[in-house]
A and B are shown apart, each in its own frame.
Chain A
Amino acid sequence: MAQLSNEDILKLARLARLGLTPEEVEEYKNELNAILGYVDSLAAVDVAGLEPTSQVTGLTNVVRSDSVKDYGYETSDLLKNVPSVENNLIKVKRMIG
């Protein structure tokens, strides 16, 4: 695999909504390149005829009835960790400049 550049790191940070200092960009570039170098060992593994696995106990389509269940939570309890609340709504910064 090609080595990640500073621009690649900045692009990833942007995709992940993660602010990074210039020192962190340099640090993560080196570390990610080392880690990706290690996991590149998988490239040569023969997996012909095999399907990927994401669920290990074989469960498929676990469903439940689509009905409201009252767990007894108070609205105020559910909102107590919200940084900014107005009229029981979560208040955020403007989205469009």
Chain B
Amino acid sequence: MAWDSIATIAAKVNAGEVKAVDLVEQSLRTIAEKSSFNAIIATTEDRAKERASQIDAAIAAGESVGRLAGVPFIAKDNFLVFGGETTAASNILRGFEAPYQSTAINRLEAEGAICVAKANLDAFAHGSSTENSDFFTTKNPHDETRVPGGSSGGSAASVVLDLAPFALGTDTGGSIRLPASFTGCVGYKPTYGLVSRSGVVAMASSTDVIGPITTSVEDAAIVLDVISGKDELDSTTIEKDAQGYVVDAPGSLKGKKVGVIKEYMGEGLNPAVKENIVKAIEAMKAAGAEVSEVSLPSLPLALAVYYIVCPAEVSSNLSRYDGQRYGYTKQDAADLNDSYIGSRELGFGKEAKRRIMIGTYVLSSGYYDAYYRKAQTVRTKLINEFAAAFEQYDVLVGPTAPDIAFKIGENAEDPLQMYLTDIMTVAVNLVGVPAISIPAGTIQDMPVGFQIIGKQRSDRELLAIAAQTEAIL
């Protein structure tokens, strides 16, 4: 059974028409029924049931519980959450029990939402398919031989499989939007800094963002409204929009200036995917949007910039996993250095090691200027080109990914080929602008994602435009 909208569920729970314990029960039952898709690493069943009972009791006592009263959700397993382990799908964090919760989870709980499970991901969010999970690969809900995309593949599959009304993901280079595109749901990547990263396992700190994965833009907006805003525990956070993000009145696309990104519509794009994207653009035009093509000439460089900046920050962030304070530790080490080396050798998977190695190289003495500094300077070039485009356009559009979900194992032996999956999502992260992937039909029964990009801090307008576009697709 599919779920009502988040606002409807919460209203029913607050009115006493539906019990939170039944919603949690429905979620846990569906998780068990659909376990063959490997979307979930573990449930937080006991704590979820306990919280649901408390919420029902509070409502029975006449208290108002909040805007997300009784709404079950699933967190990607790189969020620190009480009631179970937080592993980031990595062997090195197996058994780790969070001593505190992430700010995003605390804010959701404060409005009455209930975390029921932790979703699979590429270990440490390094990947585009969940095949880099140290535990298992999640299967695409539409075709079990295909990947769900990544790294928030478990979160996206969870939403499409109706395991819960919404899930949380993280997006460092496309990790919310890509799986949303591959599985056919809505994935929202906010402006950098809009959601606190406190209590989320760090990947690349200058591009990491947290966002919702949902079945509608309306639901994404409500979740964003709850989790966004400044947090003293993350000094990079920014103020949320004074009006919030809830999409209230359906607006119009009339007169909206839409730029179709030339570089995303050419070489490398599956012609069948292109057809769906063109259809979506035509629908926006028919609804009154002023559409024209825009070129951002440095876009083809974004992936190379990303695969310098991201591993550099990864190698730095993963240095904390030293086997001494938490996580896997090598038992029979001769001395401290041997313990570091051995714990990291056995604790990290292939992709984490690969990124640590690349990052260490591009940051090392003698290569820093040629790689890291150069990449951060080309990043400025990209930022300038996006800024120029947003002087003319309200939003920029294109596909989320060059193709539909690929087969499990297809790219597993070629890391560079795997990295190319992110070619249409990474620039957004480097520039720090918000973007959303919404479903735009299917080809061969597999979903296609349509990406809409806004300028920094225009999340409210972007969500409104996305909701209007969703309504006509």
Contacts and interface: CB of A to CB of B under 8 A. Distances in A.
Nearest to A55: B206
Interface stretch (B70-78, B109-117, B377-385, B440-448): B377-385
Interface string A34-60: 111011011101010011111111010
Nearest to B342: A19
Contacts of B100: 71, 73
B339 A42 contact: no
Interface in B329-355: 329, 333-342, 344-346, 348, 353-354
Interface string A14-49: 011111100010001001101110110111010100
A57 to B, nearest CB: 5
Contacts of B374: 42-43, 45, 47
B345 A18 contact: yes
Contacts of A78: 99
A93 B334 contact: yes
B301 A41 contact: yes
Given A52-B373, A56-B383, A17 B322 contact: yes
Interface string A69-87: 0010100011011111000
Contact of A90 (B236, B325, B356): B325
A81 B341 contact: no
Contacts of B348: 18
A46 B2 CA distance: 53
Given A81-B326, A92-B336, A17 B341 contact: yes
A32 B344 CA distance: 19
Contacts of B370: 1, 43
B451 to A, nearest CB: 19
B290 to A, nearest CB: 28
A55 B432 CA distance: 9
Interface string B290-302: 0000000010010
B76 to A, nearest CB: 20
A12 B376 CA distance: 22
Contacts of B361: 4, 12, 32, 36
B27 to A, nearest CB: 28
Contact of A92 (B206, B324, B383): B324
Given A32-B361, A38-B304, A77-B99, A16 B315 contact: yes
A95 interface: yes
A13 B378 contact: no
A54 B326 contact: no
A42 B456 contact: no
* Of listed A50, A56, A73, A95, residue having the most chain B CB within 10 A: A56
Interface string B410-435: 00000110010000000000111000
B358 interface: yes
A38 B414 CA distance: 13
Contacts of A31: 354, 415-416
Contact of B380 (A1, A39, A53, A90): A53
Interface residues of B, number: 70
Given A41-B301, A95-B335, A35 B232 contact: no
Contacts of A77: 99
B333 A93 contact: yes
A55 B241 CA distance: 20
Nearest to B206: A54
* Of listed A41, A64, A93, A96, residue having the most chain B CB within 10 A: A93
Given A45-B301, A73-B100, A81-B326, A57 B377 contact: no
A41 B320 CA distance: 31
B326 A15 contact: no
A73 to B, nearest CB: 6
A14 B325 CA distance: 21
A41 to B, nearest CB: 5
B308 A39 contact: yes
A12 B334 contact: no
A50 B375 CA distance: 11
* Of listed B356, B373, B383, residue having the most chain A CB within 10 A: B356
B327 A20 contact: no
Given A12-B361, A17-B344, A81 B193 contact: no
B162 interface: no
B338 A13 contact: no
A57 B415 contact: no
Contacts of B364: 12, 15
Contacts of A52: 373, 376-377, 379-380
A43 B377 CA distance: 11
29 contacts: A12-B361, A12-B364, A13-B357, A15-B360, A17-B340, A18-B353, A18-B357, A24-B353, A28-B357, A31-B354, A31-B415, A32-B354, A35-B358, A35-B416, A38-B307, A42-B378, A45-B298, A45-B374, A50-B381, A52-B377, A53-B377, A54-B376, A56-B192, A62-B236, A81-B97, A81-B326, A83-B323, A83-B324, A84-B329
Given A9-B357, A20-B353, A92-B339, 16 more contacts: A1-B370, A12-B360, A12-B364, A28-B353, A28-B354, A32-B354, A38-B419, A39-B307, A47-B378, A51-B377, A51-B380, A53-B376, A56-B192, A57-B432, A59-B235, A90-B324
